[in-house]
Structure 1
Amino acid sequence: MRADERTRDPGGSGAPASARAQTRLHAPSWGRAAALGAVVLTALTLADAGLAGGVAAQDIMKRLTQPKNGAAAKMFLESDQVVYDNKRNTVTAVGKVEIRYNGYTLTAARVTFHRVTKRVVAEGSARLVEPQGNVINGETIDVTENFRDGFVTSLAIDTTERSRFSAGKADRRDGNVTVFENGVYSACQTCVNEPTKPPFWQIRAAKIIHNQQEKTVYYEDAKLEFLGTPIAYVPYFSLPDPTVARKTGFLAPGFLASSTLGFGMQAPYFWAPTHDWDVTLAPTLLSRQGVLGDVEVRNRLETGKWSVRLVGINQNDPGAFSGTSGDRVSRGAVFTKGEFNINEQWKWGWDAVLLSDRKFLLDYKLVPSDRQEATSTIYMTGKGERNYFDARIYQFQVFEDDYYVFRKDNGKPLPYGRFLEQKQPLVAPVIDYDFVYPDPVMGGELAGRFNFTSLSRLKTDIDQMRQVYGASGNYTRMSADVTWRRQYIDSIGQIFTPFLGLRADVFSSQSTNPHIGWVDTGTYARIMPTVGIEYRYPFIANTTFGNHIFEPIAQLVARPNEQYVGRLPNEDAQSFVFDTSNLFDPDKFSGFDRAEGATRANMGFRYTFLPTGGGSVTLLAGQSYLLAGTNSFADPQIARIMAMDPRPLTGYGSGLDTDRSDYVTSIAIDTGRGFRFGSSARFDNRSLALNRAEVQATGTSGPLSGSLTYAYLRTPQYFYNLLNNTPYQIGKLDPAREEVQSALNLRMAQNWRLFGGIRYDVENSFVVNNTLGLGFDNDSFSASLAYTEDTDRALTKSKDSRILSDRVLYFRFGLRTIGDGAVSNSLMR
């Protein structure tokens, strides 16, 4: 039978109830797609053609794919059965109906197309998926032919942002406005997956209007409900819809409380007049200090973006900050950022802060309480496949006021608590350039580094132990380092890696502190050639319970002695820790101001175990030996500290300051089942006493997760004896520093957790910090209440005491897609 015979009304009477009035098309389950031509014929093209009877399938399919008004009209429809009613002028698809058209997908138990009204009515668990990914569920969905407008009963819309709108009925207009009568909005993902489960919170309104073009949701007569209980009522308000990242309107309010500020409430307002400009106004009303103004302007350009933020206040009660730099009427700060692309490889920008006083940001809780300084920088960077360029200017502003500590013998102030701002350097500029030559050179890799640093400092930065971190005056250095290395593997698996290097430095030092006699003033040059070879021989043993990899490692590095040891400023190589991570580094210093000299042999052994059940164990141990030359890590003039001569003590007590270094070890264990353990340690080369140790363990077992960190550093005995007998030490120098820090999180129920942490000074037997809190989390709401204490160690002329510096109560909450907030209150300030 031809398709035109199957779709024709044989009798022509139009009686809907008789067999002569209807013809049914039955498609077997394996052949539903075969009914596509007939179904599309009846569902789409009958209205356009105004057919009273049958049309040849080839003509209808031609019309179906033919452009209409400049656009191709294409639809896919699939169902178990199609019924064509000539009298009512309808076409009905019955059973597992699926229609796809113009990015929309409509599924239902029954779909009826009304030729006269040009509407499609889906019934029985109807579901409409929009092109944006939103899902509309309803018992009945009545939409226009092009799926733009319609009326829906028993409606639920699940958005791509995992939120839901639902209502008893809704009306869709102009293809982008949906009006929900007695609507409910929630951001509960479990409610989307489990429709019968009530949401934790929801907004119930007499009317919810969702304008997709404006990307705004309007609520009329709205109530915020938690667990079905109304807790707040608003007659009218609007929010950006869940798809919006930026839209004009009020943001979530913020709250704070402290004894110096009083109670405060912040009401931020976000204004986005165009797609590339926005302004955030966030004034905070403080009961004790007045109004804290806060405005931020942001602009995005074709090549980048910039922002400026101004924060300021005229304090009603400056005396609340008596004794600090905050005891003034006007206080404020300026923040500005910018970043612009020059091309695909190059960009430039800035990140700057200007403060009225050092304590402003901390006093008004504009930065985390553990921040110590603000860094301002202007930069330009370039990145290529094998090279990198970075140029920056730095300025530092400390958050700590000057303080005075007095000598034990005559009560005169020591210099290191004063002029903290003047001790910070102005770095203008620091330039770094790294490259790797693209082609092999003598079969190996050629790479290079370049650094230029110029800085100035008004006051010498020196601590209570007379260690100098930076000398006053002007300091400039230019360094270039070129290295070559090549790897050879012989027939039995031995790996030989010879390497060559040439380092050149030019220094200009102009010290302005006459008391720092060790600093040479003038221009100097330093050359450091390096020749070395590294040997590795990994071999594998396979067993029934895993694979074992054994790898002895040996490295020989030959070079001349370092020049000007202890006679030039050291700005960028002060941080030095000797462990397995740098055991085989040819130059173990962290920066360019120092260059490791002399001839060394670095020896070690690595063992790796890979169990058959997953996970890994890695163990590395080794030692370094000074074979010839002067040790760069031993200060030959350290005893001059007794003669009131401050010294930069980089490397002293590191374990490399003797001809035979301390032993360094590390172990890393990953069970592959939620537990990880890592440890590094340094043992004395003679007594095997523990000189330094760091241990960290993290794990999860059922509802319990946590971490434990242990750190230990023993003061070198000679250094301990030396400093404890100088008149500059306030109290006895600790023979060691030892600390334990832990954090735990216990999931007590599906949504409830108990968390806490402690930081304990083992050597001095006191708790530095402790935190205890309770949290609630689900997929739409989170809240936590935490209490924390901080304790400082106070050194005075007569005793070593503990001072409880702060007690703070924190409350944080968040409604997903709506906003979040936090309240903190210092119980001591």
Structure 2
Amino acid sequence: MSGASSLGRLFSCAGFALLWAVSFCVLAGIAGAQTLPKQIPQSQSAEPSLTKRFLKQKNKRDPNAKMLVTANEMIYDYKNNKVHAVGGVQIYYDGGVLEADKVTYDRVSNKMFAEGNVRYKAKDGNVIHANALDMTQDFREAFVDSMLVETPQRTRFAASRADRTEGNITVFSNGVYTACEPCRDDPKKPPLWQVKAARIIHNEGERKIYYENGTLEILGYPVAYLPFFYHPDPTVKRQSGFLPPHVYSNNRTGIGIEVPYFWSIAPNMDATVAMVPFTRQGLLAKAEFRHRLADGAYLIRAAGINQTDPQAFGVLSGNRDFRGVLEASGEFNINRRWVWGFDGALLSDKSVLNDYHLEKQLTQATERTSQIYLIGQKDRSYFDMRAISFYGLSELDVNNQLPIIHPVIDYSYFFGNPIFGGELSYKINFTSLSRQEADFAPISKLAAFATNAAGNSDTSRCLATAATPATCLVRGLPGDYSRFSAQLDWRRTITSDITGIQFTPFARMRADAASVSIDPTTNISNFVTPGSNELIRAMPAVGMEVRWPFISVHSWGTQTLEPIVQTIFRPNETKIGLFPNEDAQSLVFDDTNLFAIDKYSGYDRVEGGSRVNYGLQYTANVHRYGMVNVLFGQSYQMFGQNSYSIADMANTGLNSGLEDRASDYVSRIYFQPTGRFSFVTRFRFDKDDLSIRRFEAETTSRWDRLTLSTIYARYEAQPEIGFLERRHGIYQTATYKFHDYWSLTGGVRYDLERGKIDFGTLGITYTDECIAISAVYVADYTNIITSTAVQKFLVRVNLRTLGETGFKQNLGSQVTSASGN
């Protein structure tokens, strides 16, 4: 094919030695009876094997089928009891078509011999090309000279001769197998990859293909030789056997070699087990079990090792004798509206997943979440209940500071019939959680920062023994906290037929009840009085939103100018600081919540006091030039107490732009000239001097072969809520398909505040009908576990129908691995 030469040039530039190494992994895996357990198993009937498709078995024949022969000339040899069809011969039989220059039928032996431009097309689509074909009438036994087989799966067998015996065994002499299309420009060119063998034996009963004296060739060059290997035929989806190997290298664990064994227990059940010897730490045992049931599926994964040299990990969490992990996940349908599931993990320490390559993704996870959940959904209601626990994987994480949620319940319902002409709905939330230690965060550079065992400082966490309200805030309280919240909403939109003004009156009633038990841990008394407390609060609200759109129609398009005013009347928020703030700490004032009745992100805080939100929105739709939307607005506390100016233990509301009576200004500009390009910006301007306090811009463009995305953000420091420095950066990603088979991807994030790149990725991919190759490099300079950057390099090669292998190297910590499947 035309892309083969490009592929060869890339390999020369990138290093042909890498290709040889990867190819060895592929062949080593094939030698171990490669299987393809890519998905959770499903019950399925066995599919016909490859040879069954092009040489039919008699049990697939129609006993009443008739043979139709057309030819230029029919010669009857009564003396030898033969019939010769000569010239443009076409024989139709049982859905198949045999074409040849000449076909001789021997009535005594019940055999047919076709010669000259032989082409046989089976009724399932397989096509055989040959110089000569000798077969029995029922095709149970046959041999073919100079044969080429093309299958519907776009795979090809070629051989100088093929013999079929016993109705289910076909032997290809001097055979070649490939899944690649021939090059259109030069069909004589070797395919991108092919397997040559002195003999290729296809055993249909076993559904396996055996190779004797086999050689894997890539771009016509032999890269590996194996005297004997086998793999399932292309119709096999799951089969017991050894999987391709994984090779790991780590300066703390040594070199490890894994050869997993896949056990297909049943059509809906399988297991994968492996024993991985590491030269420095001993034997790691791994197992994975998968089971699909009629109403769902679950998975269990476990690994464990008794380390022989735990001191290799120094002061890190890996310095222990036994290390292991137990993970399980599943989801099950109760009925068509209800589903329940779970996802859990037990880890011996924070770094076991990374040290022993138990994470499958390229980027390193920051936490493990365990949960069990129940979800139900109907036309007008939604229910979600789950219990959750978190396990931090950073060496700086203190897991006693992370909450255990037991449980959180959300329920919402919309009434179908109008109530007073409007929509009535309600929602309920119940949250119960526990935490062993208080979670402090700094609000001043004078705070004493916590450090891990390696001496690394975590500037996002205060030292508990030095925590005071002047230097720290509280992200989470120690002890137990349970809260029940119920909210009733009503709203109705009325549009004036004369002016077009939209009036939307609304009403809300919110009630919260909580039980709080605060443990007297270190210095928590500096922020709140330890002990138990029962709390109740209520917040009624009524208001009106008015929109007056002015619409004008022109020859070039339409434009709409829409003033918006929203007034909300309600009493002051009560018990601020007594209710713990666990779920309402993420407060970002922008265009998305300018007209929200309550701008808090959760239930632990509720907005109080009477407020007016107002803004101006402009929208233009221009023929052939797309659309533009602009919003500019502000919020104003009319009377009562401003909730955002009263700090809780997390200081939520301070430095938000809402803490003063007149808020900062917020705006949005959205521009989409075509379906291929979009641009959006969001601003927050200081109300006094119009300086930019928060700015975001994002563009996305899609062209014929190029896709670009740019995100720029600048957030001024918000020390009172824990952001001590300004955050300022730009993130650019791009994908360029510079050839039909080649694509290049990349991304870089630049920290403008520190003047350096803190994250980057670069990848290249080649994909055609028979091979897929990808190489990805990732550099992450935001690692807080160590002071060095995390750099990873991943190469994956997939030879269609043979298998996939990979090579992974962690450049930052001298960790490498190679794997296949």
Q: TM-score, normalised by structure 2?
A: 0.77
Aligned partner of 1:760 in structure 2 is: 750
Aligned partner of 2:24 in structure 1 is: none
Select 1:580's aligned residue among 587, 591, 610. 591
How far does residue 356 in structure 1 lie from its aligned partner after superposition? Answer: 0.9
How far does residue 517 in structure 1 lie from its aligned partner after superposition? Answer: 1.4
Report whether the alignment pairs 1:226 with 2:222. Answer: no
Aligned partner of 1:815 in structure 2 is: 799
Select 1:456's aligned residue among 410, 431, 434. 434
How far does residue 655 in structure 1 lie from its aligned partner after superposition? Answer: 1.9
What is the alpha-carbon distance in structure 2 between the residues aligned to residue 100 and residue 530 of structure 1? 82
Select 1:476's aligned residue among 461, 465, 482. 482
What is the alpha-carbon distance in structure 2 between the residues aligned to residue 438 and residue 242 of structure 1? 54
- Which amino acid is 1:564 matched to? K
What is the alpha-carbon distance in structure 2 between the residues aligned to residue 84 and residue 488 of structure 1? 88
1:751-775: CA deviation from partner (whole Å, max 9, x where unpaired):
5555543322211223323445555
3-state DSSP class of the match of 1:693? strand
**Which has the larger displacement, 142-151 or 334-343?**
142-151
**Which has the larger displacement, 335-344 or 138-147?**
138-147
- Percent identity between matched residues is 38
What is the alpha-carbon distance in structure 1 between the residues aligned to residue 516 and residue 708 of structure 2? 50
What is the alpha-carbon distance in structure 2 between the residues aligned to residue 113 and residue 563 of structure 1? 100
Aligned partner of 1:798 in structure 2 is: none
8 Å contact from structure 2 (residues 783, 790) kept in 1: no
Select 2:399's aligned residue among 421, 445, 451. 421
- Which amino acid is 1:826 matched to? L
Report whether the alignment pairs 1:441 with 2:419. Answer: yes
What is the alpha-carbon distance in structure 2 between the residues aligned to residue 447 and residue 159 of structure 1? 59
Aligned partner of 1:659 in structure 2 is: 661
What is the alpha-carbon distance in structure 2 between the residues aligned to residue 529 and residue 298 of structure 1? 51
Select 1:591's aligned residue among 579, 602, 617. 602
Higher relative contact order (CA 8 A, sep 6+): 2
Aligned partner of 1:563 in structure 2 is: 574
Report whether the alignment pairs 1:486 with 2:480. Answer: no
Aligned partner of 1:255 in structure 2 is: 247
8 Å contact from structure 2 (residues 89, 103) kept in 1: no
3-state DSSP class of the match of 2:305? strand
3-state DSSP class of the match of 2:312? helix
Alignment of 1:516-527 (within 5 A): 516-517=527-528, 521-527=532-538
Inter-CA distance 578–174: structure 2 relative to 1 (3 Å threshold) = farther
8 Å contact from structure 1 (residues 108, 127) kept in 2: yes
What is the alpha-carbon distance in structure 1 between the residues aligned to residue 130 and residue 633 of structure 2? 70
Aligned partner of 2:176 in structure 1 is: 184
Aligned partner of 2:119 in structure 1 is: 126
How far does residue 658 in structure 1 lie from its aligned partner after superposition? Answer: 2.4
Inter-CA distance 277–803: structure 2 relative to 1 (3 Å threshold) = closer
Select 1:382's aligned residue among 360, 371, 376. 376
How far does residue 194 in structure 1 lie from its aligned partner after superposition? Answer: 9.0
Inter-CA distance 659–352: structure 2 relative to 1 (3 Å threshold) = same
8 Å contact from structure 1 (residues 738, 762) kept in 2: yes
What is the alpha-carbon distance in structure 2 between the residues aligned to residue 611 and residue 282 of structure 1? 63
What is the alpha-carbon distance in structure 2 between the residues aligned to residue 173 and residue 556 of structure 1? 87
Aligned partner of 2:731 in structure 1 is: 741
Select 1:295's aligned residue among 262, 287, 292. 287
- Which amino acid is 1:361 matched to? L
Inter-CA distance 299–316: structure 2 relative to 1 (3 Å threshold) = same
3-state DSSP class of the match of 2:668? strand
- Which amino acid is 2:518 matched to? S
How far does residue 301 in structure 1 lie from its aligned partner after superposition? Answer: 2.2
What is the alpha-carbon distance in structure 2 between the residues aligned to residue 451 and residue 385 of structure 1? 20
Q: Which has the larger radius of gyration?
A: 1
- Which amino acid is 1:422 matched to? N
3-state DSSP class of the match of 1:657? coil
How far does residue 294 in structure 1 lie from its aligned partner after superposition? Answer: 1.2
What is the alpha-carbon distance in structure 2 between the residues aligned to residue 115 and residue 500 of structure 1? 93
How far does residue 296 in structure 1 lie from its aligned partner after superposition? Answer: 0.8
Inter-CA distance 229–686: structure 2 relative to 1 (3 Å threshold) = same
Inter-CA distance 762–125: structure 2 relative to 1 (3 Å threshold) = farther
8 Å contact from structure 2 (residues 706, 735) kept in 1: yes
Report whether the alignment pairs 1:781 with 2:771. Answer: yes
3-state DSSP class of the match of 1:435? strand
How far does residue 474 in structure 1 lie from its aligned partner after superposition? Answer: 0.6
How far does residue 264 in structure 1 lie from its aligned partner after superposition? Answer: 3.2
1:520-571: CA deviation from partner (whole Å, max 9, x where unpaired):
8422222223333334455655555555454444333333322222221111
8 Å contact from structure 1 (residues 471, 516) kept in 2: no
What is the alpha-carbon distance in structure 1 between the residues aligned to residue 338 and residue 473 of structure 2? 40
- Which amino acid is 1:561 matched to? N
8 Å contact from structure 2 (residues 792, 808) kept in 1: no
List alignment gaps of at least 5 residues for structure 2.
1-58, 444-471, 815-821
- Which amino acid is 2:808 matched to? V
| Root mean square deviation of aligned Cα | 4.0
Inter-CA distance 478–603: structure 2 relative to 1 (3 Å threshold) = same
3-state DSSP class of the match of 2:757? strand
8 Å contact from structure 1 (residues 546, 611) kept in 2: yes
What is the alpha-carbon distance in structure 2 between the residues aligned to residue 700 and residue 82 of structure 1? 59
Select 2:278's aligned residue among 262, 286, 290. 286
Report whether the alignment pairs 1:332 with 2:324. Answer: yes
How far does residue 686 in structure 1 lie from its aligned partner after superposition? Answer: 2.2
- Which amino acid is 1:816 matched to? R
3-state DSSP class of the match of 2:643? coil
Inter-CA distance 786–634: structure 2 relative to 1 (3 Å threshold) = same
What is the alpha-carbon distance in structure 1 between the residues aligned to residue 628 and residue 420 of structure 2? 37
What is the alpha-carbon distance in structure 1 between the residues aligned to residue 86 and residue 616 of structure 2? 75
What is the alpha-carbon distance in structure 2 between the residues aligned to residue 655 and residue 100 of structure 1? 82
How far does residue 398 in structure 1 lie from its aligned partner after superposition? Answer: 1.2
What is the alpha-carbon distance in structure 1 between the residues aligned to residue 528 and residue 660 of structure 2? 26
Alignment of 1:200-239 (within 5 A): 200-211=192-203, 214-239=206-231
Alignment of 1:145-184 (within 5 A): 155-171=147-163, 178-184=170-176
3-state DSSP class of the match of 1:282? strand
8 Å contact from structure 1 (residues 158, 192) kept in 2: no
Report whether the alignment pairs 1:602 with 2:613. Answer: yes
1:154-173: CA deviation from partner (whole Å, max 9, x where unpaired):
54444555444344444566
8 Å contact from structure 1 (residues 258, 826) kept in 2: no
How far does residue 140 in structure 1 lie from its aligned partner after superposition? Answer: 6.6
How far does residue 381 in structure 1 lie from its aligned partner after superposition? Answer: 1.9
How far does residue 308 in structure 1 lie from its aligned partner after superposition? Answer: 1.6
8 Å contact from structure 2 (residues 180, 192) kept in 1: yes
Inter-CA distance 282–554: structure 2 relative to 1 (3 Å threshold) = farther
What is the alpha-carbon distance in structure 1 between the residues aligned to residue 409 and residue 575 of structure 2? 23
3-state DSSP class of the match of 2:354? helix
Inter-CA distance 69–175: structure 2 relative to 1 (3 Å threshold) = closer
Select 2:232's aligned residue among 240, 246, 269. 240
Aligned partner of 1:394 in structure 2 is: 388
Inter-CA distance 192–583: structure 2 relative to 1 (3 Å threshold) = farther
Aligned partner of 1:320 in structure 2 is: 312
**Which has the larger displacement, 145-154 or 297-306?**
145-154
Aligned length: 715
8 Å contact from structure 2 (residues 778, 791) kept in 1: yes
How far does residue 233 in structure 1 lie from its aligned partner after superposition? Answer: 1.4
3-state DSSP class of the match of 1:320? helix
What is the alpha-carbon distance in structure 1 between the residues aligned to residue 98 and residue 593 of structure 2? 63
- Which amino acid is 1:820 matched to? T
8 Å contact from structure 2 (residues 198, 212) kept in 1: yes
8 Å contact from structure 2 (residues 790, 810) kept in 1: no
- Which amino acid is 1:760 matched to? Y
8 Å contact from structure 1 (residues 112, 121) kept in 2: yes
How far does residue 295 in structure 1 lie from its aligned partner after superposition? Answer: 0.9
What is the alpha-carbon distance in structure 1 between the residues aligned to residue 589 and residue 89 of structure 2? 70
How far does residue 616 in structure 1 lie from its aligned partner after superposition? Answer: 4.4
8 Å contact from structure 1 (residues 164, 192) kept in 2: no
Select 1:509's aligned residue among 504, 509, 516. 516
